[in-house]
Amino acid sequence: MDPILDFTGKVALITGAASGFGALLARELGRRGALLVLGDLNMGALDKLVADLEGEGVTALARRCDVSSEADCKALVDTALEHHGRLDLAANNAGIAHGFLGMEELTGELLDQQMNVNVKGVMFGMKYQIPALRQGGGGAILNTSSMAGIGGGPKIGAYAASKHAVIGLTRTAAVECGRKNIRVNAICPYYTRTPMLEGDGLAAGDQADQTLAMMAAGSPMKRIGEPEEIVAVMLMLLSPANTYMNGQAIAVDGGVSAY
């Protein structure tokens, strides 16, 4: 196997693993030899994913994890240490979004919801992942931000605020942990076909087709992203062969940030 894509024996923790980027990342890491520790609130979907992975010969553990709970974030790391004795990789992927609202329509309650999941989930995750990674001699953390964490997020202001905070935490941890051989980066996708966007997500309802067309028009490639395109970059960012990329917020956006 190409060493850039070889995760054999690496213990990888993923939050928000039951669907979207998290589920696809779990599949791709598992196929490349990683030992998986997966967390999500949706245990039905998570248990099904683990059963599928085990059917493919992948070692995977499932644990209910509400990332807004510090205790749950600690317990997920403890699960990795108890079963495998170490942690090598962590993807803080769990997140929520909110419907399209102008700045004057935002509420404190809405902002709290975004911060509790999107920001606390990353902060609490890294709080316990970093000591575990250091114990094993280092590793990599990948936090899921957004293009709304790099620039403005029209009509999704509370979400944008939370994703900017994710990048702030990522860069701070990267500076603090670089000398500990722990790399910390963030991925910043443009609109992508995941449950957060489709189904009951941002593009739900009678205007779904128009909303998706508007999102596609905003990209130089005139389409939104596919999950596989985002996860391909996530694999690169987590790769054990990628040893000097640290503290970066990587846009995977079809060229939106080039405007």
Q: Residue 130 and residue 139: Cα distance in Å, rounded? A: 9
Q: Which of 128, 159, 190, 191 is catalytic?
A: 159
DSSP letters spanning the chain: --GGG--TT-EEEEESTTSHHHHHHHHHHHHTTPEEEEEES-HHHHHHHHHHHHHTT--EEEEE--TT-HHHHHHHHHHHHHHHS---EEEE--------B-GGG--HHHHHHHIIIIIHHHHHHHHHHHHHHHHTT-EEEEEE--GGGTS--TTBHHHHHHHHHHHHHHHHHHHHHGGGTEEEEEEEE-SBSSTTTSTTSTT-STTHHHHHHHHHHTSTTSS-B-HHHHHHHHHHHH-TT--S--S-EEEESTTGGG-
Catalytic status, residue 128: no
The residues annotated with a catalytic role in the active site are: 159
